Amino acid sequence: MQAKVQTDEELWILIKQHDSSAFAKLYLRYLNPVFTEIHKRIRDRDQAEDLTQEVFLSLWEKRMTSNPIGSLYPYVYGMAVNKVFNYFRSSKIPANFIDAWESLPEDIAQLTALPDAFKAAEIIEMEALLKQEHESLPEKMRRVYELRYEKQLSIAEIAEGLSISPNTVHNQLKEVRRRFKAALRKSSFLW
């Protein structure tokens, strides 16, 4: 006979009664999703593992005072986001991520909306990072980039318009992509 799968609510009731086996079930249920969310944002696997453990330790320590409603994943996810946020704050990296996060409207910070809020903060950070990198490009390289991706011109049209070889246009675009990827790697994104 197959054992009945307990809901999060049922497990939480047992956890509040200090049932460590119920906590172990919850831990196994959410370990991989929580680790994955943290590791997406923190390149260091060991640090991501540590933060994941801290999330579950904190969940256990707060079991008597916390009263999540429904699925526990939004609550645990919120704890993970806070751990990542505190990690960035204490590491002072990246500042523009923290600014983007803090500038989100307050109503978006509801636990059920945190995955969307985190994605919105990442998009804001990425756009700011790429804009900064775009502005730091040498003038001719920036012009090639703008003609290709903003004006949607072909490589041949750019080469003709700027009186340079198509190979030069191709190399300049390749260098722009390399610089953009390098900038993103230095941020909180995993690529």
**Percent of the chain at pLDDT above 70?**
75
Q: Are residues 133 and 152 in the same domain?
A: yes
Number of domains, the chain: 2
Residue that finishes a domain, picked among 59, 93, 127: 93
Q: Are residues 22 and 85 in the same domain?
A: yes
pLDDT of residue 75: 85
Confidence class of residue 99 from pLDDT cuts 50, 70 and 90? low
123 found inside a domain:
yes
Q: Are residues 137 and 52 in the same domain?
A: no
**Percent of the chain at pLDDT above 90?**
24
For the chain, counts of helices (H) and of strands (E): 9, 0
Residues with Cβ within 8 Å of 141's Cβ and at least 6 positions away in sequence, in order, are 172, 175, 176
Indicate whether 164 pLDDT > 60: yes
Q: Are residues 13 and 82 in the same domain?
A: yes
Indicate whether 120 pLDDT > 80: no
Q: Is the separation of the CB atoms in 32 and 57 below 8 Å?
A: no
| 61-89 pLDDT per residue, tens | 988 888 887 788 888 888 888 888 888 77
pLDDT of residue 6: 84
150 found inside a domain:
yes
Mean pLDDT, the chain, whole residue set:
79
> Could you tell me the CATH number of the domain that includes residue 77?
1.10.1740.10
- How many whole angstroms separate alpha carbon 178 and alpha carbon 191? 12
Does the predicted TM-score (pTM) go above 0.75? no
More confident residue, 41 or 54: 54
- How do the residues of the chain divide into helix, strand and coil, expressed in percent and rounded to 5? 75, 0, 25
pLDDT of residue 104: 52
Q: Residue 3 in 3-state DSSP?
A: coil
- How many whole angstroms separate alpha carbon 14 and alpha carbon 28? 16
Provide the residue type at 132 as one letter.
Answer: Q
pLDDT of residue 116: 56
pLDDT of residue 124: 67
Q: Are residues 107 and 189 in the same domain?
A: yes
More confident residue, 108 or 6: 6
Q: Are residues 58 and 148 in the same domain?
A: no
Q: Are residues 98 and 189 in the same domain?
A: yes
Q: For residue 45, what are its two tokens?
A: 């696997």
Q: Are residues 153 and 172 in the same domain?
A: yes
pLDDT of residue 111: 46
Q: Are residues 74 and 106 in the same domain?
A: no
More confident residue, 111 or 116: 116
Q: For residue 51, what are its two tokens?
A: 């933060």
Indicate whether 122 pLDDT > 70: no
pLDDT of residue 108: 44
Q: Residue 181 in 3-state DSSP?
A: helix
Write out the residue range of the structural domain in which residue 43 sits.
7-93
